[in-house]
Amino acid sequence: MPITELLSRNSVLYGQEKCLSEINLDLQNSHNVIWREYELIENNPAGEYRRDMTWRVFDEKANRLANLLIKRGIKKGDKVAILLMNCLEWLPIYFGILKTGAIAVPLNFRYSAEEIKYCLDLSDSIALIFGPEFIGRLESIYDEIPKIKTLLYAGEGRPSFAESYDRLTANCSSEAPDIQITDEDDAAIYFSSGTTGFPKAILHNHRSLMSACVTEAKHHGQTREDNFLCIPPLYHTGAKMHWFGSLLAGSKAVILRGIKPDWILRTVSEEKITIVWLLVPWAQDILDAIESGEVKLEDYELSQWRLMHIGAQPVPPSLIHRWKKYFPHHEYDTNYGLSESTGPGCVHLGVENIHKVGAIGIPGYDWEVKIIDDKGELVPQGEVGELCVKGPGVMKCYYNDPKATEAVLKGDWLLTGDMAKMDEDGFIYLVDRKKDVIISGGENIYPVQIEDFLRTHDSIKDAAVIGLPDARLGEIAAAIIELKPGHSCSKEDIEEFCLTLPRYKRPREVIFDKVPRNPTGKIEKPKLREKYGATCLVAKQTTR
C-alpha cells in the first residue's frame, strides 16, 4: 500500500497522541520556521524551545498542503522540491506532496545556489517550498528557474518573490484529497551525496518507500512504546527512512536541532528516548566529551535508551568497542544502505551479532546480496569484489540519466560501487568505494582499512586516506590526520604507529588537517584530492 495510508491510519487510531516534537537548544544561532508556535520549555530560562504535533494535526497539515498544491495545478507525476532545515514542518510537507500523487524532491540544505538550480532543473521540479535560511540563495537564481511556477515560503519575514506556505495552507481543507495512488506510482527523487561529482537524481516509487518501513521495523523492532531521536538531515534517505519504523509502529519521535554531546544526552534523558541513530563523528564527539569530563553520564537518565545504531559510512570497530565500554547495556547495529536502495539496511549487522562488529553484516530483511568481479562473476569467499544488492527498495532509475542507470542496474541487481568481501560465516566487510581504491605499484590499497587502523591511535580523532600522484608508483597513500583536541603528534609518531601494517599499506605521506565530512557523515574525498592532489606534500612535524 502507499506510504501515505500509514499516516492516515495513525491519525484515526492515535489522533490525539503526540507523534513529533522539535527541540531547539540553540535558538540564538538558528532561524526557525514558525516562531509563534514555539512554547518555552517549562522551568528553562535559557531560552530553549520545543514544538509538539499530534498524529491528527500531522495528517491535517499534510492534507491542507496537498489541497493547496492541487488548486495550483499540481498533478500526479509532477515534481515538488523541498528546501528546509530539519523542523516540525518537514514531514507534513513531504507527505502533503505525496498525497497529491506528485513526486517529492528533497534538496540538500548545504547546496549552493548553483547546485539548487542544477537539481531543480535535473528533476524537472515545477514547485518549491523553502525556509528562511535559503532566501539569499534563491533570490540569486530566481530569474534562472522559470520552471518553478509555485514558490512557497515556510517562515516569517516572507521575501517578495514567494508566497506564504502558512497563510495559504490555513485556508485549505484538512480532508484528504481524492487521489488514487498505487504502489507502483513514482513517489520521491533523492539526490546522491555528490562525493564523486554533481549529484544524480534517484527515483523511487511508493513500494520502495513502504519497503523501507518494513525493513526498519524488522531490524529494530519498534513498538508503540519507543521514542526515536532524529538528528541527521531529513532530506537524506537515512534519517527519514529510519523514522519510517516509527511511522509503521505509530510511535513518537523527536527532531533535535543541534549535535552537541550535551544536547543529545539531555534530549535522550528528558524525552525518554529509546532509539538513537548517529553518524560516526557524533558518536566520536560523545565519547570524547565523556572521556574529557565535559559531560558526566550520571547527570542524565539514560536507562531507557535501548538501541544505538550507525550508518551512512564505514564504522571503525574501535569506536564501537569504546561505546560499549560506557554503554554496555545498549543494543548496537550497523546499517549499510544507499539512496539508491532507500537507506535503512539492505545490509545490516543485526543487534544479535555484536561479536562481528567491523562487518557491515548480512543481507537485510527481504534483501539479497552478491559480490562480483569486473566480469560480473561471483568472487570466491574471502576475496574482494563489488557488492551488489537486490530487494524491494532498489531505485527505479536515475531520473533523466539512462546511461548512468544502465551502468548500475543489471536486471534486478544494483551495483553499489562498494568493494567488499565475505567471511566464512556469510558476514560482509566493506573494503572501500570502488573509485577510492588506490593502485600503488600494482598493489590495490583500500583506504578504509588504513583509516580504521589509524583511528585506534589514542591521539587521532579522525582520518582519511587518499591517493596522491607518484611518478614511479602511479599513486601513493596519503593520510589526512585530524587530532583530538589537546593532543599532539608528529609525522614520525604516525609512521612508527603504522609499522605494524604491511609495508605497502603504510601511508607514504602524513598531513595534519581537519577531515571534511558531508551532512550524512561521509568523508568528502574529492575536496581532499583537490586540495592535496596537485603535488605530493611533505608533512611537517605538527602539534595541536
DSSP string, 347-406: EE--GGGGGGBTB-BEE-TT-EEEEE-TTSPBPPTTS-EEEEEESTT--SEETT-HHHHH
Q: What does pLDDT average to over the chain? A: 88
Nearest to 249 by CA among 10, 501, 497, 542: 10
pLDDT at 277: 93
**Residue that terminates a domain, selected from 394, 414, 433:** 433
Mean per-residue pLDDT, 30-49 = 42
Q: Which of 79-93, 116-130, 416-430 has the lowest mean pLDDT?
A: 416-430
Most confident of 48-57, 103-112, 116-125: 116-125
Q: Containing domain of residue 39, as a range? A: 4-258
pLDDT at 207: 95
Residue 384 corresponds to which cell in the numbers above? 574482494
- Of all residues in the chain, the percent with pLDDT exceeding 90 is 69
Mean per-residue pLDDT, 198-218 = 93
> Do 195 and 344 reside in the same domain of the chain?
no
> Do 458 and 390 reside in the same domain of the chain?
no
Cα–Cα distances (Å) from 125 to 102, 296, 342, in that order, read 10, 48, 21
The verdict on residue 208 lying in a domain is yes
Mean per-residue pLDDT, 49-67 = 96
What is the CATH classification number for the domain harbouring 71?
3.40.50.12780
pLDDT at 514: 92
The verdict on residue 275 lying in a domain is no
Dihedrals phi, psi of 105, to nearest 5 degrees: -130, 85
**Confidence check: pLDDT of 181 > 90:** yes
> Do 52 and 186 reside in the same domain of the chain?
yes
> Do 376 and 494 reside in the same domain of the chain?
no
pLDDT at 186: 97
Nearest to 357 by CA among 332, 382, 325: 332
- Of all residues in the chain, the percent with pLDDT exceeding 70 is 90
**Confidence check: pLDDT of 449 > 90:** no
Mean per-residue pLDDT, 152-171 = 95
Quote the number of domains for the chain.
Answer: 3
Nearest to 81 by CA among 49, 57, 104: 104
**Residue that terminates a domain, selected from 402, 433, 464:** 433
Dump pLDDT digits (tens) for 516-533. 887 667 788 878 888 887
Tally of CA atoms within 13 A in the half-sphere of 84 that contains its CB: 29
Identify the residue with better confidence: 451 or 533: 451
The verdict on residue 542 lying in a domain is no
pLDDT at 530: 81
Dump pLDDT digits (tens) for 295-325. 999 999 999 999 999 876 667 788 899 999 9
| Cβ–Cβ < 8 Å for 108, 191 | yes
| Reported confidence tier of residue 330, pLDDT bands at 50, 70, 90 | very high
